[in-house]
Each structure stands twice: as C-alpha cells, then as structure tokens.
Amino acid sequence: MPGLVQLLMSSQVAGAALASSTSATSILPAHAKLTLPTNYFNDIGRPLIVHAQWKLSNIVTTPGTLILDIRLGGTVVFNGAAMQMSTTAHTDVPWWWEVEMTLRAVGSSANFMGASKFTCQAINISGADTTTSHPVLMAPNTVPTVGTSFDATALMQLDLFAKFSVSDAANAITLEQYKVFSLY
C-alpha cells in the first residue's frame, strides 16, 4: 500500500478554451505541462492520478462526442474514449474527470492500465437526457485494456488533450483546475 502522495503538478490559471475543432488539442496551460525525467516510471505498480475540472458546453442538435486523453511524450497512454454529448444544449456547466493509472511495465515499452470517471451534465449516458443532474460515466466504457506503450527511459512531457467529433463554436471545453499526483 502506498504511503506517500506527491503532488507533481497543479495549474494556476485556466487553459485555452477549445471550440470549433475536431482536432485533438492540449487544453492545459503551458506551465502545467509536466516534464518528467528519464526513468521516472521505473517501479511497476506505481499509480499516477490526474484530476481535471471545469466548464463544458454543447450544441443541442447532433452534439457528437468528446474524447479526453492523457499523453506522455506525445504518446496517448490513456484514452477516455468517445463520450456522447447531451442532446440538450448546455453552456459552461461544470465537469470533473478523475483518472487513475497503474504502471504495468517499465523501460522502453512501459505502459499503464487505467480507468476514469467523468461527470458532467453535458454528457448523455443512457439515452435519457439529464438536464438537472450530473451523471457519472466510467471512461472508457469498454473492456479494460493496457494502454499504448511509451518509452519511460526518455525525458517526456505529460499533457491532457480534448477532441470533439462535431466542430461548432458551442461545443467548447475549458480546463480551470488540474492536478497530477503520484503515489509511493
């Protein structure tokens, strides 16, 4: 059982808003892109926890999906998969994403097993739209798999990306709070 929780990074300002885009784009402010030293991930079983929050908007007609992912050195090491947006329009409603990843392999082919919870009024989890509550979605909502391998022997930057499937100015996400924790 880990005995020490270490805060590795927290954001002090909001990231740039992402809207009118279907390209995966970092939503972190520049200072919150944590650079990890070579061989930082060298203990199998080491957990890495990411908390990210704040505002999300969506269009009413054919809103599409939102994908959030975590990257190390440009490699997607955790993908939250496509989350269906609500068919009720929302403007700047709060969202909260918690990701927990456990290191499964080390070295030049390191990888994580991960799971997350995403909660926001602007997502639809059951076909019945929730206009007043904040449903919780396990993301990805698929069979758990080990993430893509990355080279843990190299210097790498931890980053958080978002991507909409429908480009519209009203499909928008802004990150206001972000924290990365490591457990020992």
Q: How confident is the model at residue 73 (pLDDT cuts 50, 70, 90)?
A: very high
In whole angstroms, what is the distance from residue 7 CA to residue 116 CA?
19
Query: Given a cut of 60, is residue 6 above it in pLDDT?
Result: yes
Angle at 150 between CA 164 and CA 67, to 5 degrees: 10
Domain positions in the chain are: 5-183
What local confidence, expressed as pLDDT, does residue 184 receive? 74
Nearest residue to 173 (alpha-carbon basis) of 67, 32, 31, 70: 67
Q: What's the mean per-residue pLDDT of the chain? A: 90
Mean pLDDT within 3-13: 91
